[in-house]
Amino acid sequence: MLQLNTIREHKDEVLKGLAKKHFAKAEEIINKIIEADATRRQAQKDSDNLKSEANTISKQVGELMKAGKKEEAEVVKTKTAELKEKEKQLGELLAEKEKEIQDLLCLVPNLPNEKVPAGKTPEENETVYKHGEIPTLHAAAVPHWDLTTKYDLIDFELGVKITGAGFPVYKGKGAKLQRALINFFLDRATAKGYREIMPPLMVNEASGFGTGQLPDKEGQMYHATIDGFYLIPTAEVPITNIYRDVILKESELPVKNCGYTPCFRREAGSYGKDVRGLNRLHQFDKVEIVQIAHPEKSYEILEEMKEYVAGLLQDLELPYRILRLCGGDMSFASAMTYDMEVWSAAQQRWLEVSSVSNFEAFQSNRLKCRFKGADGKTQLAHTLNGSALALPRIVAALLENNQTPEGIKIPKVLVPYTGFDIIN
């Protein structure tokens, strides 16, 4: 959520930023916000003045009663009737305008950083880095959904029986490989100074709002309606919400947390190759890294997080590229996003395995996550997060790229975690 101050004082820059994000009704909504804000402030002032007057009268009544002048007190009391009526009306106007402003603010996406390219579609994303050789596979090479069946690693149909499409069952070495990857990612993150968190997998509405899933992206999450809880679509939600309504000390920044969780996504609308096998699931595993940063340091930290994730891909010996997303392809809440994609040799395409973003103060304004500076003033912190990493597409690429006639080779760094170096 953008800050009212920013909109009020830097309207032109806000409109320019929103244009880069291809946000359609920017001018109309921003004007409505400014107007409602002006009305609200006037009503606030009027209401405060009435309350002040009423407070004075109440004190008078108190003093008169104490002095035993009951009749005079009764006379003074009657003065408040009109005040109360006016105050009630203003109170209603105030609440109405506050809600209007809040609802409108929720519609406005974050402003992109200057460096974000201006494009609209994924084709216009900027490739900032490429690493690794595109492997050439042997003649009998097949996509991962055939490999998982051949070696009995993942059973998609069994998942359909137990739950539904998109809920795979991992078996034997397939399950062990999941566990190995999770441990490898967590060990790396904690070695890099991230504190490991094991959060709840269901969150309440306030948490969903804090990180921006609610109210507008409600359909993305599974909803346990009886209790009003949502299954988390990413560990970002519970881990970032640790800092909802928190005022940190400046010396505590940056706060670095990581966590492994299963992630649940309802996703709709895709078909065919895009959703085949491990490409898109309703439940998948992911290790997430989250930082709360000083505003002056957040872009430095974004680069550091990007490099960290790139290092993981390098150690897994996967060819990858890093994209800086263009304005039109970025998420609602992000100010700058790097996507990491690995090459999937049998599918002959790039698969997104990580997304590292700086949200600047957009999330923290919703979360009310602040820090107190040396000058004693509180200000909003910046939040950042990234997948490090999402497992399914990593597994897809590992299986496909490393397949040989003898079996699937496991990258060296994982062998201590799997206990085997080949799947055959």
Partner RNA sequence: GGAGAAAUGGCAGAGUGGUCUAUUGCGGCAGUCUUGAAAACUGUUGUGGGUUAUACCACCGGGGGUUCGAAUCCCUCUUUCUCCGCCA
Binding residues (CB under 7 A) for RNA: these are: 41, 44-45, 47-49, 51-52, 54-55, 57-59, 61-62, 65-66, 77, 80, 84, 247, 370, 372, 378
Place of tokens 């400046």: 250
3-state secondary structure of 273: helix
79 or 273, CB closer to RNA?
79
Q: How far is the CB of 79 from RNA (least distance, A)?
A: 8
Closest distance of CB 27 from RNA, Å: 22
Neighbouring CB atoms inside 10 A of 33's CB total 24
Instruction: Please identify, using beta-carbon distances, which residue of 80 and 89 lies nearer to RNA.
Output: 80
Spell out the alpha helix ranges (H) of 67-172: 70-78, 80-107, 144-150, 156-162
Q: Which is nearer to RNA, 48 or 307 (CB)?
A: 48
Q: 14 is written with which tokens? A: 């806000």
Nearest CA to 361 among 379, 378, 381, 331? Answer: 381
CB of 372 to RNA, least distance (A): 6
Nearest by Cα to 220 from 264, 260, 261, 262: 264
List, in order, residues 6 or more apart from 147 with CB less than 8 Å away: 153, 399, 400, 403, 408
Helix (H) or strand (E) holding 228: none
Minimal distance in Å, beta carbon 135 to RNA? 45
d(CA 364, CA 244) in angstroms, rounded, equals: 8
Q: Which H, E and C letters describe 365-420, residue by residue?
A: HHHCEEEECCCCCEEECEEEEEEEEEHHHHHHHHHHHCEECCEEECCHHHHHHHCC
CB environment 135-160: b (16+ within 10 A), e (fewer): beeeeebebbbebbeebebbbbeebe
Which tokens is 132 given?
């690794």
User: Which CB atom, from 9 or from 421, has the smaller least distance to RNA?
Assistant: 9
Query: By C-beta, is 52 or 225 nearer to RNA?
Result: 52
Cβ proximity to RNA: between 52 and 136 the closer is 52
Please answer whether residues 305 and 291 qualify as being in contact, where contact means their C-beta atoms are separated by less than 8 angstroms: yes
CB of 380 to RNA, least distance (A): 9
| CB nearer RNA, residue 9 or residue 300 | 9
Least distance to RNA, CB of residue 288, Å: 25
Least Å from the CB of residue 65 to RNA = 5
- Between 343 and 362, name the residue whose CB sits nearer to RNA: 362
Nearest approach, Cβ of 44 to RNA (angstroms)?
5
